[in-house]
Amino acid sequence: LDFAGAKPTYQQWTQVLNDLKPKLTQLENEIHHEFMGGHHLTIGDISIFFELGLFLILFKYDLQEHYPKLHKWFDRVSTHEVVV
pLDDT of residue 20: 92
pLDDT of residue 23: 95
Q: How many CA atoms lie within 13 A of 35 on its CB side?
A: 18
pLDDT of residue 13: 86
pLDDT of residue 4: 66
DSSP lists the bridge partners of residue 38 as 35
Give backbone dihedrals phi and psi of 20, rounded to 5 degrees, phi first. -85, -25
CB of 45 closer than 8 Å to CB of 37: yes
pLDDT of residue 64: 94
pLDDT of residue 3: 58
Local mean pLDDT, 10-residue blocks, the chain (84 residues): 72 90 95 94 96 90 94 97 92
